[in-house]
Structure 1
Amino acid sequence: MSISRFDKKIQTPPENPSQNDHSAPEEAAQIGAARVERVIHGGDGLLRLDGKAGFISGVLPGELVSFAVLRDRPRQFEGVLREVLDPSPHRCEPRCPLAGRCGGCDWQYCHSEYQLELKKGIVAENLRRIGKIPLERESIQILAGEPWGYRERVQIHTDHRGRPGFKARRSEEIVLLSNCPVVTEEINRFLEDAASGKILLPPGKRLVLVLADGESPDSRAVIVAPGPQTAQRSLDGLPLSFDPSSFFQANGPLLERLGRELRSRIARDAPRVLVDLYGGAGVLGALAVSGSSAFSGDLLCVEEDRRNARFIEENLLRAGLKEAQIRVVSRSAEKALAVDPVLKNLDPPSSAVILDPPRSGLSATLRRWLKKGPAARLFYVSCNSATLARDLGEILGAYLIQDVTILDFFPQTAHVEVLVELRLKG
Structure 2
Amino acid sequence: MVIEDLSHEGNGVGRYQGYTLFVPGALPGERIQAKATKLKKQFGYARLMEIVEPAASRTVPPCPIYKRCGGCTLQHMDYQAQLEFKRKLVEDNLRRIGKIEGVPVHPTIGMEEPWRYRNKAQVPIGEEEGGLIGGFYAQRSHEIIDMEACLIQHEKSDEVVARVKEIAGKHGVRAYNEETHGGLLRHVVTKVGFATGQIMIVLITNGEKIPNRDALVNELVSSVPGVTSIVQNINTKKSNVIFGDETRVLWGEEYIYDTIGDVTFAISARSFYQVNPVQTERLYGKALEYAALTGEENVIDAYCGIGTISLFLAQKAKHVFGVEIVPDAIEDAKRNARLNGMNNVTFAAGEAETVIPKWYEEGNVADVMVVDPPRKGCDEKLLDTIVAMKPERVVYVSCNPATLARDLRILEDGGYRTVEVQPVDMFPHTSHVECVVRLYLKDE
For Structure 1 versus Structure 2, the TM-score category normalised by the shorter chain is 0.7 to 0.9
Equivalence for 2:259: 234
Q: Map 1:194-273; keep pairs closer than 5 Å.
A: 194-195=164-165, 197-198=166-167, 203-204=175-176, 205-212=186-193, 218-224=196-202, 226=204, 227=231, 228=249, 230-273=255-298
CA contact (8 A) 2:84 2:107 kept: no
Q: For the Cα contact (< 8 Å) 1:251–1:409, is it kept in 2?
A: yes
Alignment-derived partner of residue 375 in structure 2: 359
* Separation in 2, partners of 1:107, 1:392: 28
TM normalised by structure 1 equals: 0.83
SS of the equivalent of 2:157 reads: helix
1:344-423 to structure 2, matched below 5 A, reads 345-347=363-365, 351-372=367-388, 374-397=390-413, 398-423=415-440
Pairs aligned (count): 379
Query: What's 1:107 paired with?
Result: 74
Whole-Å Cα distance in 2 between the matches of residues 140 and 81 of structure 1? 32
Q: Is the CA contact 1:279–1:302 (under 8 Å) kept in the aligned structure 2?
A: yes
CA contact (8 A) 2:120 2:191 kept: yes
CA distance in 1, matches of 2:334, 2:311: 10
**Which amino acid is 2:67 matched to?**
G
Deviations, residues 210-241 of structure 1 (Å, cap 9, x unaligned): 1138xxx9432143265356432222243312
Q: What secondary structure, in the 3-state scheme, does the structure 1 residue paired with 2:290 have?
A: helix
Counterpart contact for 2:160–2:201, Cα < 8 Å:
no
Asked if 2 retains the 8 angstrom alpha-carbon contact of 1:280 and 1:308, the reply is yes
Confirm whether residue 183 of structure 1 aligns to residue 157 of structure 2: no
Deviation at 1:418, TM superposition (A): 1.1
For residue 423 of structure 1, report the CA deviation from its aligned partner: 0.9
Q: Take 1:221 and 1:179, find their aligned partners in 2: how far apart are those partners?
A: 17
2:419 partner SS: strand
* Residues 257 and 373 of structure 1, relative CA distance in 2, 3 Å threshold: same
SS of the counterpart of 1:275? strand
Unaligned runs of 5+ residues in structure 2 are: 177-185, 205-230, 232-248
Match of 1:46, SS state, is strand
Q: 1:134 to 1:265 in 2, by over 3 A?
A: closer
- 1:206 is displaced (CA, Å) by 3.1
Kindly indicate whether residue 5 of structure 2 is the aligned counterpart of residue 38 of structure 1: yes
Letter in 1 for 2:270: S
**Offset of 1:343 from its aligned partner?**
6.7
Q: Is the contact between residue 353 and residue 378 of structure 1 (CA under 8 Å) also seen in structure 2?
A: yes
Cα deviation, 1:393-417, whole Å, max 9, x if unaligned, reads 1111211112211111100111111
1:280 CA displacement: 0.4
Cα distance in 2, alignment partners of residues 191 and 129 from structure 1: 43
**Which of the numbers 304, 312, 328 marks the counterpart of 2:347?**
328
- Cα drift, residue 109 of structure 1: 0.4
Check the 8 A contact 2:287/2:397 in 1, yes or no: no
Identify the residue that residue 15 of structure 2 maps to in structure 1.
48
- In structure 2, the residue corresponding to 1:118 is in which secondary structure? helix
CA pair 116-344 structure 1, distance change in 2 beyond 3 A: farther
Alpha-carbon distance change, 391 to 301 in structure 1, aligned in 2, over 3 angstroms? same
- Aligned-partner SS, 1:37: strand
- The structure 2 residue matched to 1:65, chosen from 32, 36, 54, is 32
The whole-number CA distance in structure 2 between the counterparts of 1:112 and 1:372 is 42
Which deviations, in whole Å up to 9, do the C-alpha atoms of 1:78-108 show, x marking residues without a partner?
1111111111011000010101111111110
Partner of 1:21 in structure 2?
none
**Aligned partners of 1:153 and 1:392: how far apart in 2?**
31
Note the C-alpha offset of 1:374.
Answer: 2.5
**CA distance 1:320–1:218, change in 2 (3 Å):** same
Please give the secondary structure, in 2, of the residue aligned with 1:311: helix
TM-score (norm 2): 0.80
Percent identity over paired residues: 28
Letter matched to residue 254 of structure 1: Q
1:134 CA displacement: 1.6
Q: 1:92 and 2:92 equivalent?
A: no
- Kept in 1, the 8 Å contact 2:83–2:107? The answer is no
Tell me how far apart the structure 2 counterparts of residues 264 and 57 of structure 1 sit (CA, whole Å).
Answer: 38
Tell me, what secondary structure is at the counterpart of 1:107?
A: coil
AA aligned to 1:211 is: V
Map of 1:301-320 to 2, 5 A cutoff?
301-320=322-341
- For 1:343 and 1:259, the matched residues in 2 are separated by 29
| Deviations 1:171-210, CA, capped at 9 Å, x for gaps | 1110100111111121122233345x14657613134221
**Aligned residues of 1:158 and 1:202 also touching (Cα < 8 A):** no
**Which amino acid letter does the alignment assign opposite residue 242 of structure 1?**
I
Q: CA deviation at 1:317?
A: 3.6
Q: Mind listing any 5+ residue stretches in structure 1 that lack a counterpart?
A: 1-33
- The residue aligned with 1:275 is 300
Are the counterparts in 2 of residues 39 and 60 from structure 1 also a CA contact under 8 Å? yes
The CA distance in 1 between the partners of 2:267 and 2:285, in whole Å, is 20
The 5-angstrom pairing of residues 278-289 of structure 1 reads 278-289=303-314
Query: Does the residue aligned with 1:404 lie in a helix, a strand or coil?
Result: strand
CA contact (8 A) 1:260 1:288 kept: no
Letter in 1 for 2:442: K
**Shift in Å, 1:355:** 0.5
Partner amino acid, structure 2, of 1:416:
V
Shift of 1:66: 1.1
Across the aligned residues of Structure 1 and Structure 2, the Cα RMSD in angstroms comes to 2.2
Q: Is the 8 A contact 1:285 1:316 kept in 2?
A: no
Distance in structure 2 (CA, Å) of the matches to 1:103 and 1:38 = 21
